[in-house]
């Protein structure tokens, strides 16, 4: 038996999945903790990934008539108080500004001074302040629909944080719409959910389940919340995006009224939707391995890195000239309607360069040395294959086929994720089987369990709360694409009309 191959990340996923995730974030050079509690610094490699996600999602929004705007970071406390369930839902997460300047005290230390006449909440979400603007912008049915989005940061004062997945400050987009009818508003709610699902599956290579949230899990103040849920490698659920049908609750709170075609004064029907940098956490947790992250090519920070190989300083100029010519060709080519992104790593760090790019998850690593040049070839390694698996390709063939190779990597990641999700999503009936399904698979990793349980639930908050208390398991969603099926609740045994997705979640 050969010597066991060392992995780049320690501990491995099997040894400690939670710590593995933290180490992958660090090794991939995507982000790091900031001096501010619960906040993160997103480094260039991670921010580039976010920029690519933003571009794709922003284009999708604009295709369906949504326009970008910007609203203040600070929200008057009185605005949040207008919608009772909304303020109650966010009260514990709010950061509040109460003073507007600093001054030195008798000891020479800076202390807050100049109290504000009204406290300002640092934006946890913007329904209320955007609602105030909408109330001024909307007066007639001719002003509707009003479709606005903003790309911003938000602050939710989380007690337990983890980079990308849950931080006190994070980046996101929040869309807001006002419609003349309930039907149009609900159609918009579902449309935006479909856009999130398309982004997740076609670009992030994350298969998702689309569903409706229970009353206990809804966005505060919403009539209905719809979501997409993805399964991570530890079989936990990650909510990747949400779309909220707000009914007329926020319109009444903010006085968003319009004159109808029949010349009657009516309240608008509003919608909001949002997704955040936690999508990056989803990419890491679903596609990473024990050597680091693996980036889906359609949103990857870069597509290919060239690593020059030479034994003497005299070889370097020739090798670099050869690489630069290939790089220029690739940079003028397109993959999925975006220019191919190329890196050239000519640092004198030997074999460490290759390992760094493996950990960063770049889809393709290309080595070029004098021997390859003499054969007009390049030496190619794919990140979705074992790191020692490298193939020599003719230069022209590689340039011609790179888009197909990237597509193969993208499809492989998605198909692998689909297979994993299907394998760990099971119909579970009966209380005993249900509780056993969520029993830890081993003592070393108590959080890892069976996966997604498609089980019957009677629909009561009592059973939902008991399961959460007993197992830390929640109803992730009531799937949209399933037929009604009679059964018995796994908690109380009462009749149920359909299955829901139960899982532990981030």
Q: What is the DSSP letter of 504?
A: -
Nearest to 417 by CA among 276, 154, 258, 240: 240
Two tokens, residue 284: 């890491």
Q: With contact defined as beta carbons under 8 Å apart, do 357 and 345 qualify?
A: yes
**Burial of residue 263, with CB atoms counted within 10 A of its CB: 0-12 exposed, 13-18 middle, 19 or more buried:** exposed
Structure tokens at 6: 């060392």
Let me know: does 129 contact 75? Beta carbons within 8 Å.
Answer: yes
Residue labelled with tokens 């989803």: 282
* Residue 411 near residue 297, CB atoms below 8 Å: no
CB 287 within 8 A of CB 417: yes
What's the CA gap between 462 and 377, in Å, rounded? 66
* Structure tokens given for 340: 């191919």
pLDDT of residue 5: 67
Please tell me whether residue 143 adopts helix, strand or coil conformation. Answer: helix
Hey, is 367 helix, strand or coil? Answer: strand
Torsion region of 132: left, alpha or beta (phi above 0 gives left; psi -120 to 50 gives alpha): alpha
Coil/strand/helix, residue 502: strand
pTM of the model: 0.95
Residue 368: its pLDDT value, please? Answer: 96
Contacts of 382 (CB under 8 A, 6+ apart): 363, 364, 389, 405, 409
pLDDT at 53: 98
CA distance 260 to 488: 47
Q: What is the spatial distance between Cα 267 and Cα 260, in angstroms, rounded to a whole number?
A: 10
| Residue of 340, 298, 361, 343 whose CA lies nearest to 53 | 298
Write the DSSP assignment of 151-195 as a string of letters. EEEEE---SS-BTTTB-SEEEEEEEEEEESSHHHHHHHHHHHHHH
Tokens 């600070």 sit on residue = 74
Spell out a b/e string for 401-437, using b for 16 or more CB atoms within 10 Å of the CB, else e. Answer: ebbebbeebbebbbebbeebbeebbeebeebeebbeb
Question: Tens of pLDDT along the chain (506 residues)?
Answer: 444 567 899 999 999 999 999 999 999 999 999 999 999 999 999 999 999 999 999 999 999 999 999 999 999 999 988 887 787 888 889 999 999 999 999 999 999 999 999 999 999 999 999 999 999 999 999 999 999 999 999 999 988 899 999 999 999 999 999 999 999 999 999 999 999 999 999 999 999 999 999 999 999 999 999 999 999 999 999 999 999 999 999 999 999 999 999 999 999 999 999 999 999 999 999 999 999 999 999 999 999 999 999 888 889 999 999 999 999 999 999 999 999 999 999 998 767 899 999 999 999 999 999 999 999 999 999 999 998 899 999 999 999 999 999 999 999 999 999 999 999 999 999 999 999 999 887 777 777 788 999 999 999 999 999 999 999 999 999 999 888 899 999 999 999 999 999 999 99
Quick one: CA dihedral 319, 320, 324, 325, positive or negative?
negative
Residues 413 and 433 sit within 8 Å (Cβ to Cβ): no
Q: What is the distance in angstroms between the CA of the first residue and the CA of the last residue of the chain?
A: 40
Q: How many CA atoms lie within 13 A of 118 on its CB side?
A: 11
Give the 3-state DSSP-derived string for 253-282, with helices as H, strands as E and coil as C: HHCCEEECCCCCEEECEEEEEEEECHHHHH
Tell me the pLDDT tens digit for each residue of 22-50.
Answer: 999 999 999 999 999 999 999 999 999 99
Distance of alpha carbon 123 from alpha carbon 134, whole angstroms: 17
CA 429 to chain centroid: 31
**Conformational region of residue 13, where left means phi above 0, alpha means psi within -120 to 50, and beta covers everything else:** alpha
- Packing angle of the helix pair 182-198, 44-63 (nearest 10 deg): 140
Give one DSSP letter per residue of 319-359, joined into a string.
HHHHHHHHHHHHHTSEETTEEPPEEE---S-TTHHHHHHHH
pLDDT at residue 2 in the model: 46
Q: Please name each of the domains of the chain with its CATH number.
A: 17-287 (3.30.930.10), 304-408 (3.40.50.800), 425-503 (3.30.110.30)
Nearest CA-CA partner of 459 in 435, 429, 492: 492
The answer to whether 192 and 309 have CB atoms below 8 angstroms apart is no
Angle at which helices 17-27 and 352-360 pack, to 10 degrees? 120
């Amino acid at each position: 038996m050969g010597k066991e191959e060392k992995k780049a990340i320690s501990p491995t996923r099997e040894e400690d999945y939670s710590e593995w995730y933290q180490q992958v974030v660090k090794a991939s050079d995507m982000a790091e903790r900031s001096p501010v509690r619960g906040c993160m610094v997103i480094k260039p490699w991670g921010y580039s990934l976010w920029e690519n996600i933003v571009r794709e999602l922003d284009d999708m929004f604009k295709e369906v008539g949504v326009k970008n705007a910007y609203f203040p970071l600070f929200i008057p406390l009185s605005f949040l108080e207008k919608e009772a369930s909304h303020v109650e839902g966010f009260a514990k997460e709010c950061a509040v500004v109460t003073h507007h300047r600093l001054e030195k005290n008798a000891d020479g230390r800076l202390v807050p001074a100049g109290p504000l006449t009204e406290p300002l909440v640092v934006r946890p979400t913007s329904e209320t302040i955007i609602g105030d603007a909408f109330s001024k912008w909307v007066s007639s049915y001719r002003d509707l629909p009003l479709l606005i989005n903003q790309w911003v940061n938000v602050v939710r004062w989380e007690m337990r944080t983890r980079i990308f997945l849950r931080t006190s400050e994070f980046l996101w987009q929040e869309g807001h719409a006002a419609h003349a009818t309930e039907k149009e508003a609900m159609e918009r709610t579902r449309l935006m959910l479909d856009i999130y699902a398309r982004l997740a599956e076609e670009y992030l290579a994350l298969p998702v389940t689309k569903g409706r949230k229970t009353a206990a899990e809804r966005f505060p103040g919403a009539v209905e919340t719809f979501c997409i849920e993805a399964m991570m490698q530890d079989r936990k659920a990650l909510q990747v995006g949400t779309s909220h049908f707000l009914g007329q609750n926020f319109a009444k709170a903010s006085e968003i009224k319009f004159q109808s075609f029949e010349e009657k004064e009516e309240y608008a029907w509003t919608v909001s939707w949002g997704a955040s940098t936690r999508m990056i956490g989803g990419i890491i947790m679903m596609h990473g391995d024990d050597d680091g992250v693996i980036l889906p090519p359609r949103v990857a920070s870069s597509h290919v890195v060239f690593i020059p190989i030479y034994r003497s300083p005299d070889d370097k100029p020739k090798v670099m000239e050869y690489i630069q010519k290939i790089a220029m060709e690739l940079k003028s080519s397109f993959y999925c309607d975006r220019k191919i992104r190329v890196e050239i790593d000519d640092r004198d760090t030997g074999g460490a360069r290759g390992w760094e790019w493996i950990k960063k998850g770049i889809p393709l690593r290309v080595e070029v040395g004098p021997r390859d040049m003499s054969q007009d070839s390049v030496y190619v390694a794919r990140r979705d294959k074992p790191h020692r698996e490298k193939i020599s390709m003719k230069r022209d063939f590689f340039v011609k086929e790179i888009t197909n190779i990237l597509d193969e990597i993208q499809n492989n990641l998605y198909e692998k994720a689909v297979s994993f999700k299907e394998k760990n999503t099971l119909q579970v009936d009966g209380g005993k089987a249900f509780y056993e399904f969520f029993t830890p698979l081993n003592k070393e990793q108590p959080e890892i369990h069976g996966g997604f349980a498609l089980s019957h639930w009677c629909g009561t908050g009592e059973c939902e709360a008991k399961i959460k208390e007993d197992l830390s398991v929640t109803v992730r969603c009531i799937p949209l694409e399933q037929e009604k099926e009679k059964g018995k609740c796994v908690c109380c045994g009462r009749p149920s009309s359909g299955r829901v997705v139960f899982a532990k979640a981030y």
